[in-house]
Amino acid sequence: MRVIGIDPGLRNLGWGVIDVAGARLSHVANGICHSDGATDDLARRLCSLHAQLTEVFRLYQPETAAVEHTFVNKDAVATLKLGQARGIALLVPAQFGLEVGEYAPNAVKKTVVGVGHAAKVQVDHMVRLHLPGVQIAGPDAADALAVAICHSHHVQSAGRLQQALRRAAG
């Protein structure tokens, strides 16, 4: 199973792709889609993120996707703009016919690090342990890989539950 995790951001939208075979995870690719707030208006920035993320999906052909929930901060305008970038992160997988898992940042950290309030450096460290030898493009890509790892665990758990229910009913 090929999983893409997305860490939405208007300036830096992180993405990470992993392959999952049973309990084995392997790194495929990761990166950051950038938009320039200094020269482009919001519509152009969103269009740029959409085009870049669409190319990532075209290149790596994930089978399932997951997006991190955004947090609401004190700046309502910034939160709204981040929400619009999150819309791009949800739209692109839907355009490829994929269902999208959504996870709170604390759920991702709890799954990957074991602690819901882990620091970014701890997330990065644990991603490197899960994916030995990975070269991470930056903190946003590390977070996206963590989202992919989290989703892979949840998808596998759901699959095992469904198998157990079928056996019990059978």
Spell out the per-residue pLDDT of the chain, length 170, in tens: 999 999 999 999 999 999 999 889 999 999 999 998 777 799 999 999 999 999 999 999 999 999 999 877 778 888 888 899 999 999 999 999 999 999 999 999 999 999 888 998 999 999 999 999 999 999 999 999 999 999 999 888 765 545 555 667 77
In the residue annotation, 7 being an active-site residue is answered as yes
Tell whether the torsion through CA atoms of 7, 82, 12 and 117 is positive or negative.
negative
Domain CATH code at residue 84: 3.30.420.10
124 is catalytic: no
Range of the domain at 98: 2-169
What's this model's pTM, rounded to 2 decimal places?
0.91
120-130 and 139-169 helices, crossing angle to 10°: 60
| Active-site residue, selected from the candidate residues 19, 55, 68, 99 | 68
- Phi, psi (rounded to 5 degrees) for 141: -70, -40
The answer to whether 140 is a known catalytic residue is yes
Q: How many domains does the chain have?
A: 1
Q: Are 20 and 152 in contact (CB under 8 A)?
A: yes
